[in-house]
Amino acid sequence: MSEVLNAAALPRDPRRPIAPAPPLEPERPRIRDIAAFFFRARRNLLTAFSDLVYRQPIVRRAFMGTPVWIVSDPEAVKRILLDNVANYPKGVQQQRRLRPAVGDGLLTAGGESWRWQRRTTAPAFQHKKIVAFAPAMTAAADDMLKAWASAGAREIDLPREMMFLTYDVLSRTVFGADARTDAQKMGAAFERYFDTIGKLDLAAFLNLPEWVPTLGRLRARPALRYFHGEIGRIVAERRALLARAAAAAPDDLLTMLLTATDPEDGRPMDDRQVIDNAITFIGAGHETTANALCWTLYLLSEFDWADARVAEELDRVLNGRLPTAEDAGRLVYTRQVLEEAMRLYPPAPFLGREAIEADELCGLPVKPGTQILVSPWIIHRHASLWDEPDLFDPDRFAPGRREAIHRFAYIPFGAGPRICIGMAFAMQEAVLLLATMLQRHRFKAVAPEAIEPHATITLRPRGGMKMRIEPR
């Protein structure tokens, strides 16, 4: 079953006919187009691209002499993210915006430093560790629902609630129960940081170096000071506890970071690397998952037939009890809805890369220095990759049908060696949080026609998303 989405929530007409891909557009640098692009992109990056990007395998542009390619052909994406990954490191734009917060942690590091950190942190995300985090995940959702009930909440600001919820999950799983931070203050600091650095400013657009004190960068400073101070304090306390009484330390991601050693040379992480990675896990893991939850609940609020199928599955599998890690695997339809929500609204909508050496994509020569945009937002709505791409249809991901999807046509978590390390964590978390919430409540958007996806670094609903909550 499928239905056409609310047109107001999309930047294009979702009923337009699907056209066959026209030939590739030639490279044509035009200054006035670039200026227009900047102003449109600053308002909302999603609306800055022409309709061509949803139909062509590659769209080539140039900005001040630098070629900029928007690549959507799955085989070309595979070449960039996997087969020739060494030639396409992360682009400087996103790195510059993220580095002040996450330093040289796993998300932003490159080369040997990245390889070493990935090897060293991978054991923290093994299946059995993630399963052990399930009770903390459902407990966070259960606590939130109890707080709503005791406050008599009828209407909520969904993005804000989901940000606190996913921050709470990370606080419980990264720092354990003993060293929890002030979720409200820390969540607000991250929100401020993403709000300020997420906006495209002229400095970022013109690639000015990190030391240039632009307004956005100055505004982000208090938030940066706050979370570096707090997380530095927690890391120091935990290191002292591990030295004094290692057995008493909680079995959480922070202990894993502090005790992890390189499987090859036995080297541990220093304090700076531990702090950078703790902030990375929170920064990369809380807003993305919060957005996935918001868009899933928005779609369920729009499509009653999908909401009813989820409710039926939750009743059948859970029969009123809280979900466990094993249930996350049994809630097949709930997971399909989440996957379809991340297709239509990928929480990380744009991945930036830069070609180091000459290469070839779709038979076209790539020059060194070419900026490459691989966009889950564009790829997931591409007319040549999806039947009726703007339709909401969770059954695309039904067992037996999802195998037909090209591995590089659905990339909410990226792909290749730099695929999201938190993917299994996030999928289990999102299914458990959705199941806990949807078991007890139905969510109804207050003004669905006004909801508009807005891309900064992540994909949020512009101006929030008010939801009425009704008991089931």
Q: For ligand HEM, which stretch binds (CB under 6 A), given 25-33, 69-77, 393-401, 420-428?
A: 420-428
Residue 150's CB is within 10 A of a number of other CB atoms, namely 8
**Does residue 422 interact with ligand HEM by CB under 6 A?**
yes
Burial of 222 (0-12, 13-18, 19+ CB in 10 A): exposed
Segment contacting ligand HEM by CB under 6 A, of 187-195, 199-207, 287-295, 383-391? 287-295
Name which position in 278, 306, 328, 421 contacts ligand HEM (CB under 6 A).
421
CB of 422 to ligand HEM, least distance (A): 2
The single residue among 72, 95, 120, 289 that binds ligand HEM, judged by CB under 6 A, is 289
Q: Which of residues 385-414 bind ligand HEM (CB under 6 A)?
A: 412-414
| Cα–Cα dist 190/8, whole Å | 29
Between helix 271-302 and helix 304-318 the angle, nearest 10°, is 120
Contact 101, 92 (CB under 8 A): no
Binding to ligand HEM (CB under 6 A) within 112-141 occurs at 118
Radius of gyration of the chain (CA): 22
Q: Which of 71, 76, 107, 325 binds ligand HEM (CB under 6 A)?
A: 107
Question: Binding residue for ligand HEM (CB under 6 A) from 5, 101, 106, 300?
Answer: 106
Q: From its phi and psi, is residue 65 left (phi > 0), alpha (psi between -120 and 50) or beta? A: left
* 3-class SS of residue 401: coil
Q: How far apart are CA 365 and CA 64, in angstroms?
A: 19
> What is the smallest separation between the CB atom of 93 and ligand HEM, expressed in angstroms?
11
How many residues are there in the chain?
472
The phi, psi pair for 25, rounded to 5°, reads -80, 135
| Contact predicate 448/439, CB 8 Å | no
467 lines the binding site for ligand HEM (CB under 6 A) = no
* Phi, psi of 69, rounded to the nearest 5 degrees: -115, 135
Residues 31-50 close enough to bind ligand HEM by CB under 6 A? none
DSSP 73: -
Using CB under 6 A, which of 79, 90, 199, 460 touches ligand HEM?
A: 90
Shortest distance, position 345 Cβ to ligand HEM, whole Å = 10
Nearest CB to ligand HEM, comparing residues 97 and 444: 97
- Nearest to ligand HEM of 57, 352 (CB atom): 352
Distance of CA 55 to the CA centre of its chain: 24
350 interacts with ligand HEM by CB under 6 A: no
Query: What's the CA gap between 109 and 16, in Å, rounded?
Result: 42
Number of residues in contact with ligand HEM under rule CB under 6 A:
23
At residue 405, φ and ψ (nearest 5 deg) are: -80, 130
Considering only 197, 310, 351, 459, the residue that binds ligand HEM (CB under 6 A) is 351
With contact defined as beta carbons under 8 Å apart, do 426 and 420 qualify? yes
Minimal distance, residue 86 CB to ligand HEM, in Å: 14
201's torsion region: left (phi>0), alpha (psi -120 to 50) or beta? beta
Nearer to ligand HEM, 111 or 399 (CB): 111
Cα separation, 338 vs 345, in Å, equals 10
Query: Please, is 471 exposed, middle or buried when counting C-beta atoms within 10 Å of its C-beta (0-12, 13-18, 19+)?
Result: exposed
- Which of these ranges, 19-27, 196-204, 344-352, 439-447, lies near ligand HEM under the rule CB under 6 A? 344-352
> Which of 273, 280, 296, 371 is in the footprint of ligand HEM by CB under 6 A?
280
Residue nearest to ligand HEM (CB): 422
CA angle 422, 294, 200 (to 5 degrees): 75
Contacts of 183 (CB under 8 A, 6+ apart): 164, 167, 168, 171
Minimum distance from CB of 462 to ligand HEM (Å)? 19
Q: Using CB under 6 A, which of 54, 167, 226, 281 touches ligand HEM?
A: 281
Q: Please identify, using beta-carbon distances, which residue of 53 and 420 lies nearer to ligand HEM.
A: 420
Task: Kindly state the smallest distance separating residue 125's Cβ from ligand HEM, in Å.
Answer: 8
Q: Indicate whether 418 belongs to the interface with ligand HEM (CB under 6 A).
A: yes
Dihedral of alpha carbons 93, 98, 102, 105, sign: negative
d(CA 234, CA 238) in angstroms, rounded, equals 6
Answer for which of 48, 200, 372, 420 binds ligand HEM (CB under 6 A) is: 420
Residue 98 touches ligand HEM, criterion: CB under 6 A: no
In this chain, which stretch among 62-70, 343-351, 355-363, 461-469 interacts with ligand HEM, using CB under 6 A?
343-351
Q: Is residue 434 near ligand HEM by the rule CB under 6 A?
A: no
Question: Collapsing DSSP states into helix, strand and coil, what is residue 105?
Answer: coil
Q: Which is nearer to ligand HEM, 383 or 426 (CB)?
A: 426
- Binding footprint of ligand HEM on the chain (CB under 6 A): 90, 106-107, 118, 280-281, 284-285, 288-289, 292, 347-348, 351, 412-414, 418, 420-422, 425-426
